[in-house]
Structure 1
Amino acid sequence: MSFQILKNIADAQKKKAVVDVRSGDTVKVTQKIKEGDKFRFQVFEGVVIRVDRKESHTARIVVRKIASGIGVEKSFLLHSPLVEKIEVVKRAKVRRNYLSYLRHRSGKSARLVARDFDRAAVNTLKEE
């Protein structure tokens, strides 16, 4: 009985539509940040190195970018109300779900092989 109640609450918090994000994608994540009594939007662009629990209400992605020569990783919950939108910029050919090996690489060795994709079709929101 209590599990069903928790499932209903979790389903109510899920977003109705999310973008299909995969490991190796270069994404722009627009996040809502509260400062005082105002909200502002901040864009974080980088490579998705991990996708966790894709079908769950706790689905998350880990995005990595290089800022001033230092690697920065940030984790985003896909169904969070603070994540305004996610846009796929590039898609790469990868054979792993968790790209942890990119942490130890820099320069040309950290590049991923680009793959052609229909940007408009990928960035349309798909109902779950």
Structure 2
Amino acid sequence: MSIIDKIESEQLKKEIPAFNVGDTVKVHTRVIEGDKERIQVYSGIVIGRKGTGINSNFTVRRVSYGEGVERVFPLHSPRIAKIEIERHGEVRRAKLNYLRSRKGKSATTVKEKSPQSRS
């Protein structure tokens, strides 16, 4: 094992829940303002995942005040306190870029995965 692999393996998070593209998640991020630290929650649909190992990240999209907002989170970042899965979505694509052109409720919802297909 090289030195770089050893350093990366120390920084990988162990407690990451298994979520996929199409799932609705709540991402709890640590925000530092001055000398105070607080937790801010960002909720939305995962529209893409990218990378492997320490370089992996995921994109979360939500519609806020009628405007689509996307945010990219590094999966193993120390700024991410917790990732909660609200709903499991059933999609047939690896990237949900088609949600960007949708309006209204169809832009914020994905078909929910049935309980027997969650294995």
Query: Could you tell me the TM-score, scaled by structure 1's length?
Result: 0.84
When the two chains are superposed, the root-mean-square deviation of aligned CA atoms in Å is 1.6
Q: Partner of 2:53: helix, strand, or coil?
A: coil
1:87 aligned to which of 84, 87, 91: 84
In structure 1, runs of 5+ residues without a counterpart are: 119-128
Partner of 2:99: 102
1:40 aligned to which of 32, 38, 60: 38
Percent identity (aligned): 41
Contact 1:50 1:98 in 2 (8 A): yes
Contact 1:25 1:89 in 2 (8 A): yes
Partner of 2:3: 5
Q: Partner of 1:9: helix, strand, or coil?
A: helix
Q: Partner of 1:10: helix, strand, or coil?
A: helix
Q: Number of matched residues? A: 115
Partner Cα distance (1:47, 1:109) in 2: 12
Is the counterpart of residue 73 in structure 1 residue 46 in structure 2? no
Contact 1:22 1:48 in 2 (8 A): yes
Q: Partner of 2:71: helix, strand, or coil?
A: strand
Is the counterpart of residue 112 in structure 1 residue 78 in structure 2? no
Partner Cα distance (1:34, 1:77) in 2: 17
2:13 aligned to which of 15, 21, 37: 15
Partner Cα distance (1:15, 1:103) in 2: 30
Amino acid in the other structure paired with 2:5? K
Q: Partner of 2:20: helix, strand, or coil?
A: coil
Structure 2 vs 1, CA of residues 40 and 108 (structure 1 numbering), >3 Å: closer, same or farther? closer
Amino acid in the other structure paired with 1:13? Q
Shift of 1:37: 0.8
Query: Could you tell me the TM-score, scaled by structure 2's length?
Result: 0.90
